[in-house]
């Protein structure tokens, strides 16, 4: 049964402005909430952005073009770790993981692109910080990837770690030049590190990733700083250059990476948050893309049965149908599927899970209960 109310429009036409309008809206919202507690009302549950996505038929996803995380393959198709999370949202909300339009977003555009509705969500290698969480007009999802800030240099520089770098430039009038993306946590972390250690380094802030890459290749800077996985991606991009690149083992920050959405629609934020958490819980329950179609429903535990829509009404709580999670896991997979497919040991990056393993394997990823 579907109920559709337009309390704001009714009030605009028939109510006085001020407190009477506010009271009228509150009464209608209370009535809607009471009705939704008894009926499955997808249209009512859907907030402004979530409903717009359903009406449009696809999700607008902002990504930061980085090999392994979000990139175009040889056929012009978007692939990558963050891309798969966009596709998981499309599978859960719209029924098809392919119903996504991708937009390349540089760091200075992340906040504005979401606030102005250019995209529905931004992944784009975005670090959660207190300043961003409290100052941007939006919300961060649960963490999808734990990273750290590192450094990369040409082998001709003759150093492999920061201590060696400092020693090399100790007697020189000018310290090393470091290229970094401007207006980022990377730039802020680097300035903090330089100040804390009283270093004679020159920071060269560059607006775009391509600009930073060009500056590094043209030896405008001696080394480049960024998230470690981003540097690994850059190293893969620059494989056609004969000289060897060295990524230092030094870590100077913590970088919890998450999705960012507008604060205008709590329902959309909840969907994003729980889709990400689903991938982690499914891995913990050993429900994967490979086995989901062959699972014995009778032998599943209570939480798995709730997730797969066999019992309970978890989909209703998110404004989705009962099979939302089944579609995500069958079309995209769990967290392990996504990680291994894009970044794992069998890929060109060869990353180990490390801190990105589940809590029970010594990692930091922990999913909330699905009940």
Highest mean pLDDT, choosing among 12-16, 71-75, 109-113, 279-283: 279-283
335-352 pLDDT per residue, tens: 999 999 999 999 989 999
Structure tokens at 137: 């007009």
Sorting pLDDT into bands at 50, 70 and 90, what band is 26? Answer: low
| Res. 12: pLDDT tops 80 | no
Helical (H) or strand (E) element with 187: helix 185-196
Enumerate residues 6+ apart whose C-beta is below 8 A from 100: 58, 59, 60, 61, 78, 86, 87, 89, 90
Residues ≥6 apart with Cβ < 8 Å to 345:
351, 352
Task: Please list, in sequence order, all residues whose beta carbon lies within 8 angstroms of the beta carbon of residue 288, skipping any fewer than 6 positions away.
Answer: 282, 329, 333, 334, 336, 337
Contacts of 261 (CB under 8 A, 6+ apart): 49, 114, 120, 121, 122, 138, 139, 141, 268, 269, 272
The C-alpha atoms of residue 202 and residue 38 are separated, in whole angstroms, by: 63
Task: Give the pairing type, strands 149-154 and 245-247.
Answer: antiparallel
* Residue 360 burial by Cβ neighbours in a 10 Å radius (0-12, 13-18, 19+): exposed
Provide CB contacts within 8 A for 122, sequence distance 6+. Answer: 61, 62, 63, 105, 110, 113, 114, 259, 260, 261
Q: How confident is the prediction for the chain on average, in pLDDT?
A: 87
> In the numeric block, which tokens belong to residue 180?
């970094």
Is pLDDT at 53 greater than 50 in this prediction?
yes
CB of 277 within 8 A of CB of 142?
yes
* Per-residue pLDDT, 46: 54
Q: What is the pLDDT of residues 175-186, one digit of tens each?
A: 999 999 998 999
Using alpha carbons, select from 124, 121, 114, 63 the residue that is nearest to residue 92: 121
Q: Percent of the chain beyond pLDDT 70?
A: 87
Find out whether 63 and 102 touch, Cβ atoms under 8 Å: yes
């Amino acid at each position: 049964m579907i109920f559709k109310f337009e309390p704001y429009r009714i009030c605009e036409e028939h109510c006085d402005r001020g407190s009477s309008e506010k009271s009228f809206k509150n009464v209608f919202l209370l009535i809607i909430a009471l009705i939704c507690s008894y009926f499955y009302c997808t249209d009512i549950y859907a907030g402004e952005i979530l409903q717009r996505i359903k009406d449009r038929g696809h999700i607008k996803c902002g990504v930061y073009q980085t090999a392994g995380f979000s990139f175009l393959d040889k056929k012009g198709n978007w692939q990558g770790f963050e891309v798969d999370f966009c596709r998981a949202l499309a599978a859960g909300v719209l029924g098809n993981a392919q119903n996504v339009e991708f937009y390349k977003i540089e760091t200075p555009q992340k906040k504005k692109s979401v606030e102005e509705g250019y995209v529905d969500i931004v992944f784009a290698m975005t670090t959660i910080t207190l300043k961003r969480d409290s100052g941007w007009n939006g919300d961060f999802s649960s963490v999808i990837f734990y990273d750290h800030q590192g450094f990369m240099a040409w082998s001709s520089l003759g150093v492999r770690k920061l201590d060696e770098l400092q020693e090399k430039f100790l007697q020189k009038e000018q310290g090393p030049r470091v290229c970094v993306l401007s207006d980022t946590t990377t730039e802020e972390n680097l300035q903090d590190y330089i100040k804390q250690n009283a270093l004679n380094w020159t920071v060269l802030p560059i607006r775009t990733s391509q600009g930073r890459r060009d500056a590094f290749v043209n030896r405008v800077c001696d080394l480049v700083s960024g998230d470690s996985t981003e540097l690994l991606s850059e190293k893969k991009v620059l494989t056609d250059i004969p000289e060897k690149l060295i990524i230092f083992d030094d870590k100077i920050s913590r970088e919890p990476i998450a999705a960012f959405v507008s604060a205008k629609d709590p329902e959309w934020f909840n969907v994003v948050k729980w889709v990400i958490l689903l991938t982690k819980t499914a891995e913990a329950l050993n429900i994967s893309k490979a086995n989901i179609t062959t699972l014995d429903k009778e032998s599943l535990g209570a939480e798995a049965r709730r997730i797969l829509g066999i019992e309970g009404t978890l989909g209703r709580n998110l404004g989705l149908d009962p099979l939302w999670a089944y579609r995500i896991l069958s079309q995209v997979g769990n967290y392990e599927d996504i990680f291994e497919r894009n970044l794992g040991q069998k890929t060109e990056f060869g990353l180990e899970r490390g801190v990105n393993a589940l809590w029970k394997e010594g990692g930091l990823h922990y999913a909330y209960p699905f009940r």
